[in-house]
């Protein structure tokens, strides 16, 4: 069954062609998905060579991999999702998958000194590709003709609109990175591929990106600004030792219904070969203003801007924490590493939450809690007391949500310090800057937060402003030692929304007077 026609036409022939390709990819993926089960079967797999902490793991497929650059080292483990083909290879790297409990125990493969020569099977590949290309081309042309016919019958000239409609309402100037990408996101049937582009399109996009400049580095690897079809995208390149974070973040972003204005827009995830080495790429929207941490270093905000930042962050967190029941549905997600460096500033001065590599997934219907295989536990400066003293209930999803609320309170404190009231503001400082070193240890933070029960100080000037006074109260209710006493993300969002409405009303009264 074809998807419903879209109410708006793409702005260019390239948009139409891209749209047709996305629809076709969605149809193909939907047909293939309909033949299988909705919930993939997970198998127990042998896990070796440091892929995870235990001797076994559970996944949709078991695998065995060998890297010719490391003689004799054969890795075994499990794939968390089922979209990968059963056998594939890159230069220096071969991977073979299987399905079945412990099926990779005796599964072996030989090391390859050089990648297979492409000319060996040219004729076979050609015989397979040509019919597919012909069929795909015919379907694309057919979809294009149908869509153009519909557009001619539906599009009303803009000049027929009411004279009362202003030019601001009639015209929209797209931001950089907001035309082709938006068309592909908003006009595609996602075919089960989650918040990004359909899986078949992802594999194409990732190979068309040109890396331009490195814009950030961290413990995971590097972030580059790339260009795809003339538009900026962010490419997060994971180091080989952080493969688990790449796998986890890819899995989280492929969660159905994850897309939200205040969560970083995911485009694609791919393994690619650059400079004779395998790289793990995560491709997302690009935001030139950088992280909230960078932004607050150089900028102050007024109360309206402060509320805009805070409300956009908590809105994204509410969407992460919420489980959506239905078909398709969305599992509840806890971030586990919320901090100002993992929050990006969009061009409209709202925030979006990024870096989901440590996230925890929870499904209420079957009470399944998926914490992943990543051994990292977050950033020490933003860790909640129960994480620092190791009393957190690791089998309770509510416990992980409470750690996000603790971290949000610290981020809110960072924003409030840079809020300008009566011409006064504080310089940017990270939480607990006055009681721990620049790079605090686990023991440093545990002593301050758990033993001394110290909390970031609230300047006296905040108490004279109704907005900052209310924000200070929210912070304190997010920093309770007992995690069950802390506010929920939804409660915080409702409070901030009320503050934003009252601030707008007060600003309007001042303007009118």
Sign of the C-alpha dihedral, residues 174, 178, 183, 185? Answer: negative
**What are the Cα distances from residue 59, in Å, to 42, 222, 419?**
5, 28, 47
Q: How far is CA 215 from the centre of its chain?
A: 18
Question: What does the alpha-carbon distance between residue 433 and residue 340 come to, in Å, rounded to a whole number?
Answer: 14
3-state secondary structure 33-72: HHCCCCCCCCEEEECECCCCCCCEEEECEEEEEEECCCCC
Q: Which of 183, 242, 337, 404 is catalytic?
A: 337
- Return the axis-axis angle of helices 303-321 and 489-512, rounded to nearest 10°: 150
Q: Which two tokens stand for residue 131?
A: 């019919």
Partners of 214 in beta bridges: 224
CB burial of residue 366 (10 Å; 0-12, 13-18, 19+): exposed
Question: Other CB atoms closer than 10 Å to residue 115's CB: what's the count?
Answer: 14
> C-alpha angle 509/511/513, rounded to 5°?
70
To the query of whether residue 355 is one of the catalytic residues in this protein, the response is no
Catalytic amino acids?
337
């Amino acid at each position: 069954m074809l998807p419903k026609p879209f109410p708006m036409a793409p702005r260019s022939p390239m948009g139409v062609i891209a749209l047709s390709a996305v629809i076709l990819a969605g149809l193909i993926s939907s047909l293939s998905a309909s033949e299988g089960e909705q919930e993939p079967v997970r198998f127990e797999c042998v896990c070796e060579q440091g892929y995870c902490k235990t001797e076994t793991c559970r996944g949709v497929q078991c695998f065995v991999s060998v890297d010719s650059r490391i003689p004799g080292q054969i890795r075994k483990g499990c794939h968390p999702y089922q979209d990968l083909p059963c056998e594939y290879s890159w230069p220096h790297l071969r991977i073979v998958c299987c399905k079945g409990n412990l099926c990779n125990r005796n599964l072996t493969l030989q090391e390859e000194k050089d990648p297979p020569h492409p000319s060996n099977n040219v004729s076979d590949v050609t015989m397979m590709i040509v019919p597919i290309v012909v069929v795909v081309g015919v379907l694309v042309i057919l979809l294009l003709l149908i869509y153009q016919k519909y557009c001619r019958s539906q599009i009303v000239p803009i000049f027929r609109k009411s004279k009362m409609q202003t030019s601001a309402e009639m015209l929209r100037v797209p931001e950089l990175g907001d035309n082709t990408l938006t068309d592909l996101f908003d006009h595609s049937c996602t075919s089960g591929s989650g918040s990004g582009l359909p899986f078949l399109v992802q594999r194409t996009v990732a190979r068309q990106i040109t890396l331009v400049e490195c814009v950030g580095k961290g413990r995971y690897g590097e972030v580059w600004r790339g260009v795809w079809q003339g538009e900026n995208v962010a490419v997060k390149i994971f180091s080989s030792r952080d493969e688990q974070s790449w796998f986890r973040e890819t899995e989280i972003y492929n969660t159905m219904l994850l897309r939200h204005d205040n969560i970083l827009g995911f485009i694609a995830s791919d393994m690619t070969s650059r400079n004779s080495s395998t790289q793990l790429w995560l491709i997302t929207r690009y935001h030139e203003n950088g992280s909230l941490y960078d932004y607050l270093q150089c900028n102050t905000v007024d109360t309206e801007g402060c509320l805009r930042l805070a409300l956009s962050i908590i809105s994204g967190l509410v969407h992460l924490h919420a489980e959506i029941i239905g078909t398709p549905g969305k599992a509840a997600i806890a971030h586990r590493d919320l901090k100002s460096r993992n929050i990006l500033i969009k061009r409209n001065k709202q925030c979006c939450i990024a870096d989901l590599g440590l996230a925890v997934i929870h499904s209420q219907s079957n009470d399944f809690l998926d914490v992943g295989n990543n051994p990292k536990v977050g950033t020490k400066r933003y860790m909640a007391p129960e994480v620092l003293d190791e009393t957190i209930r690791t089998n309770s999803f509510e416990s992980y949500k409470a750690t996000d609320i603790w971290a949000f309170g610290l981020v809110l404190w960072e924003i409030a310090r840079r809020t300008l009231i009566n011409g006064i503001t504080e310089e940017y400082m990270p939480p607990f800057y006055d009681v721990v070193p620049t790079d605090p240890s686990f023991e440093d933070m545990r002593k301050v937060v758990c033993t001394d029960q110290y909390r970031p100080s609230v300047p006296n000037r905040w108490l004279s402003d109704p907005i900052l006074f209310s924000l200070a109260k929210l912070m304190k209710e997010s920093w309770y030692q007992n995690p069950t006493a802390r506010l929920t993300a939804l409660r915080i969002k409702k409070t901030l929304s009320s503050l934003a409405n009252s601030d707008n009303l007060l600003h309007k009264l001042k303007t009118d007077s």
